[in-house]
Amino acid sequence: MSRRALLQGGVTGVLAAAGLTAYEIYKARYVNPYSPQLERVDIAVPAGSDGLAGMKIGFITDTHVGPFVETGDLYRALDLIRAESPDLILLGGDYISESPRYAPETASAIGNLLSDAPLGGYGVIGNHDLSVSRARVQEALVTVGIPVLRNQTTVVSFGGAQLAIAGIDETLLGDPQPVETIAQAPTGVPVLALWHEPEFAEQAAAAGAFAQLSGHTHGGQIRLPGIGPVGLPVHGKRHVIGLGMADGMPIYTSRGVGVYRPPARFNCPPEVTLVTLVAPTT
C-alpha cells in the first residue's frame, strides 16, 4: 500500500481495513505518537580507539514540533535521554513541521538538554527544516548554542581518545558531500557520520565512517502485521528501522520522536536512542 493510498483513504479507514479494532485505531492516533521509548544500541569502535569505549551518545531526531507535536511531548522524550546522563548529544534533523514559528521553542527545549551533556552536542538539518525556511531553523539552533554541521566535521575528546562527528547535509533539499566531509577528519581519528537520510549510507562507509546515525523514515510510523510499513518517504526506503549494516558499516535509523502526516503510529512507537560505544570485537 502506497503512502498516497494511505492519505487518500484516511488513517482510520486504512487501519480499519487492516482489521484493527476501534480501540487500536484510537491508540494509533491519540496515544502511540505521544508515548516515547528509550532504545539502547551498542556500536563497536574501530581497533585502536578503545579509549572511546563507554562513551554514551544521546541521539534525538525527527522531533517534528508543529501541528501534531507540542513542546510538552518533546520534553517528555528528552527527559528519557536526560535520565541516562549522556556524554554527548547528536541531533538528526527535522526539528519542526510546517512553519518556522515552531523553531525557537523547539531549539530552546533541545538546548536545555545539551547544556547538561559534558561534551555538548551537534546537529544536522533535515528536509522539513529546509522546506519551512532555508535559514530560520538553523538560526534558532545556533542562537541557543547548538552547532549545526552542514558538510562539516568536528572532533570531541573522550577517555584520552578522539571522535570525529561528520555532519552531512541532507539529500532532498540540501547539498550532501559525504566524501569531502568525512575527509575533514584528522588522520587516524574514527569518524561517526550523522546524516538525516539513511538511504545513501554506503557512501559514508566507502568514505571511511565506522558508523552512521540517521532518522527521516520514522520507521514507517504505521507497520501492519505481515505487511510492514505502509509508506516510506523519498530517500528513506533503505535502512528503514533500527540497527543494520551498509557495506559492513553499522547504521542505526531511529524511529524518531514526532510524527508527520498521517499523525499516527502503529507497531512503531516514537523513540530517543542511547548509543553506547563499545570496544572493538576481536
Residue environment code for 143-176, b if the CB has 16+ CB neighbours within 10 A, otherwise e: ebebbbbbbbbeebebeebbbbbbbbbbbbebeb
211: domain CATH number? 3.60.21.10
- Quote the domain boundaries for residue 44: 3-278
Total-model pTM: 0.95
Into how many domains does the chain fold? 1
**Separation of CA 129 from chain center:** 13
Tens digits of per-residue pLDDT, 183-205?
999 999 999 999 999 999 999 99
Tens digits of per-residue pLDDT, 91-138?
999 999 999 999 999 999 999 999 999 999 999 999 999 999 999 999
DSSP code of residue 36: -
Which residues lie closer than 8 Å to 133 by C-beta, 6 or more apart? 100, 103
Per-residue pLDDT, 17: 67
Given a cut of 90, is residue 281 above it in pLDDT? no
